[in-house]
C-alpha cells in the first residue's frame, strides 16, 4: 500500500488529534501528519499543502462540530477554493454526530466517506484500501 503524502486531522479536541496522530504514525501510512483545531486552521493547512506539495495526495479527517469554523463551513469554503490539484484532496468526515440534519448537509459535498469516532486501525485500513482503488480507477 502506498503512503499518503499528507494527512490532516481537523478536530477541536486535542486529545482526539493526539490519539489519531499516534495511530497513523504507528501504522506508518503517511509521510506528513498535521493537526488543526478548527476548519479555519484546516483551510490554512490546505493552502500550504497545495503550495508546497503540488503533485501529491492529501487525506483530511474532518470533524463536524467545532468552534470558529465547523466541518460543514469548512466544506462550503473548500468547495470555493481554486487550488492546483484540488482533486487530489480527499475528505473523510470523522464525527460522533449522527444528527440527520448534519448528515443531509454533508451529502451535498464531495467527501470520500463518513466515519464515526473513534478512528481505529480497521477504519484507517479500510479508508486506505478504498483510496488505493480510487487512485487506480
What is the per-residue pLDDT for 52?
66
Q: Cell 483545531 belongs to which residue?
A: 37
Q: What is the DSSP letter of 51?
A: H
- Quickly count: other Cβ atoms within 10 Å of residue 39's Cβ: 27
Residues of the chain with pLDDT under 70: 1, 52-57, 131-137
What is the per-residue pLDDT for 54?
59
What is the per-residue pLDDT for 137?
47
What is the per-residue pLDDT for 121?
94
What is the per-residue pLDDT for 132?
63
Residues 13-39: pLDDT tens digits?
A: 999 999 999 999 999 999 899 999 999
DSSP secondary structure letters along 12-42: S-HHHHHHHHHHHHHHT-EEEEEEESSHHHH
What is the per-residue pLDDT for 136?
44
Judge contact between 36 and 45, C-beta under 8 A: yes
What is residue 77's three-state secondary structure? helix
- Report the alpha-carbon distance of residue 32 to residue 26 in Å, rounded: 13
Amino acid at each position: 500500500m502506498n503512503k499518503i503524502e499528507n494527512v490532516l486531522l481537523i478536530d477541536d479536541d486535542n486529545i482526539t488529534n493526539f490519539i489519531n496522530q499516534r495511530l497513523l504514525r504507528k501504522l506508518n501510512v503517511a509521510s506528513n501528519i498535521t493537526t488543526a483545531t478548527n476548519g479555519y486552521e484546516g483551510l490554512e493547512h490546505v493552502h500550504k499543502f497545495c503550495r508546497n506539495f503540488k503533485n501529491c495526495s492529501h487525506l483530511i479527517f474532518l470533524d463536524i462540530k467545532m468552534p470558529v469554523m465547523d466541518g460543514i463551513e469548512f466544506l462550503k469554503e473548500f468547495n470555493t477554493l481554486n487550488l492546483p490539484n484540488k482533486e487530489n484532496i480527499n475528505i473523510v468526515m470523522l464525527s460522533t454526530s449522527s444528527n440527520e440534519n448534519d448528515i443531509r448537509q454533508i451529502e451535498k459535498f464531495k467527501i470520500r466517506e463518513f466515519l464515526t469516532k473513534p478512528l481505529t486501525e480497521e477504519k484507517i485500513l479500510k479508508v486506505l484500501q478504498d483510496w488505493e482503488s480510487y487512485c487506480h480507477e
